[in-house]
A and B are shown apart, each in its own frame.
Chain A
């Protein structure tokens, strides 16, 4: 079920009163049923995989906690990793590896055609497998006590607001809330509604609207002119941010209506002054997951500078691969890895700048220069992220080098500026109020209501006229 569809709001309208009226003991059962209905709406077969993953990790969690012997603990942990990564390998990466090894096999006279299988990629598989993996790893590391109730764990895995595209929650944050089965406070309801409406506006009116241009141009870059391609790339950077941060806002807002707090996933990433800061502000739940469970496990920065750089590169390459089984994502990850290494080399031992405080015009210009530079570095990586194949990315680069003018340059420029301006406006308000629900800082609630009504009206009109586009991160 897509958050940007009317059926989701009907679903939510049914789930919320049932959840509120259900006795505390049964609340989590309601949540599990609702989550499975939500997930099964795409394809009921996906829920089977979810059940399997839940049963395995619940059992492993119990066993890990019970057995004290480190040898046995490792075996149980291995079982959890094997099953979770196995699911990912089969459903997400199998086709990629077969396709990648086919040319190599053909050199030696082999034919891998018989290995080709048409496997459907279950929605959000990377998100919930990473979430359940963190559960077992945390128990193994002694940071977490496993939950005794299967139903509580089932909610942790399948909690519908964040099931398909995160934020990838840690059991230490989410599970205690689920066990408490809370009712939302008045403040949570207020914030929840604001987050849902602003998130929907970002997703629909900015993400989807910009995405229509992006999708058309990226599908046939050869027929478009250089300024149009450049506009499409900038628009994609806006689209993916609006799409994903919009989704996260709706997820967090929905969770708040159920009395549960989810972590923030974005903190105005395009206002970052350097690439390290960018990764502290972009897809925070994934970057912190990779840091805690991969980078640190590899040794982090404890084994010398050279090893730190290697660890960074491995983490970013695997981070790229997490997004999808395609060489484009690996290049995207590699580029970010290289950026991070260079930044670490340049700013070695200096404290990484985070946030900005005005201290004269010069500092403002320096800040704006750094933000623009970081944005363009990130923009270049988005080219590989968005291109469906190498030839698309190559066409883009060639058309940037061999510039062709377009009669629509000004039109594309104005469109791009308009989308960017609105998105940046959200960011600036969030940056200065330090709140995603910045609208609530307005004291007159009538004004708040008025703004929200118009945002909701616009989103609904757009949703009614257009087919609901899935969130970009659903495919991961």
Chain B
């Protein structure tokens, strides 16, 4: 009897182990999910991995790579090639554009159009990072982007980004203290960092672990019961009232603005206008400003919703038409600005 149970148990463990290996292989080769794309660097904070291919599914779907320098797109050198005009684009998930292939992103359109307009090679580097706000972008510029010596830096901002919540615990913090702007790495919560460092090799090398981690995050975000109960789920909790509209911009936003480098251009990527005070500051600091609102509104008036995704029937990030319109618009706008 004991021998029979032991045989069953050994068989069970053996089958679990072997099946997990086969499953892992299938998940990887069929690209059902992508490994964790992040790593940690003591200077830059949470950073994207180098030389990593990905296939991502969201409102849309895309394939791409993080290059030898942890930047989205093909390999590039830190040192700029002679005769190349380099543009760095900082922003959040809208710039990251995980919903469309790079060849359809506004970045590629800009690269082609600007090269054509200027008659010389233009290189556009995508420094977009999901969840980044103005402060995160600023820290990223100081600690990482500046080493690429861009000729032009574009900040893609929406009104919410100006509130500078800096939610990612593993991104350097920007502090405004005694009239001084400091980018500090001293505020990483050590316990969180230790856990991250211990577990990252699992999510970086196993899709199954990455899936488990994603599910864990969804459960922590309160998605368990809605997923389980479907239509029968009733949310008794009052939805939080958004106070973004009434919220005053923190002094940090203005301090960052005052510290923008002279080759910066601010792009309003959102549907709302940026606050008057912030716009006034841009004018004061002679920072050029471009808004995408009109372009996107015109597109909507033509019956094309730049945020609508047919396949998933959702509204989200810019779709292909949105990217196309933005790419051509920005190319024109930048050509004029730079020629002037």
Contact = CB atoms under 8 A, between A and B. Distances in A.
A216 B311 contact: yes
Main secondary structure, interface of B, reads helix
B15 A450 contact: yes
Contacts of B10: 446
Contacts of B32: 205, 209, 462
A197 to B, nearest CB: 12
Interface in B175-230: 208, 211-212, 214-215, 218, 223, 227-230
Contact of A446 (B11, B227, B228, B311): B11
A448 B12 CA distance: 7
B23 A450 contact: no
Interface stretch (A4-12, A113-121, A329-337): A4-12
Contact of B9 (A6, A446, A451, A462): A446
Interface stretch (B54-62, B127-135, B328-336): B54-62
B230 A223 contact: no
Most interface-central of B13, B212, B311 (chain A CB within 10 A):
B311
Contact of A455 (B19, B27, B53, B218): B19
Interface string A432-455: 000000000000111111110111
B215 A465 contact: yes
Interface residues of A, number: 43
A47 B115 CA distance: 61
Contacts of A219: 310-311
Interface in A209-224: 209-210, 212-213, 215-216, 219-220, 223
Interface in A382-421: 408, 411, 414-415, 417-419
A465 B227 CA distance: 9
A464 B11 contact: no
Contacts of B211: 458, 461-462, 465
Contact of B26 (A7, A212, A408, A418): A418
Interface string B62-95: 0100000000000000000000000000000000
B23 A6 contact: no
A464 B320 contact: no
A184 B11 CA distance: 27
A376 interface: no
B29 A418 contact: yes
Interface residues of B, number: 46
A121 to B, nearest CB: 16
Contacts of A220: 320
A101 interface: no
Given A418-B30, A419-B30, A454-B23, A216 B61 contact: yes
Contacts of B29: 414-415, 417-418
B20 A454 contact: yes
A462 B320 CA distance: 27
A41 interface: yes
Interface in A361-381: none
Contacts of A450: 11-16, 18-19
A453 B230 CA distance: 24
A422 interface: yes
Nearest to B233: A7
A216 B8 contact: no
B232 interface: yes
B31 interface: yes
27 contacts: A1-B230, A7-B231, A7-B232, A10-B228, A41-B230, A41-B231, A205-B32, A216-B61, A223-B320, A415-B30, A415-B55, A417-B29, A418-B26, A419-B30, A422-B26, A444-B11, A445-B11, A446-B14, A447-B12, A450-B16, A450-B18, A451-B15, A453-B19, A454-B16, A454-B20, A462-B211, A466-B57
Interface of A: 1, 5-7, 10, 41, 205, 209-210, 212-213, 215-216, 219-220, 223, 408, 411, 414-415, 417-419, 422, 444-451, 453-455, 458, 461-467
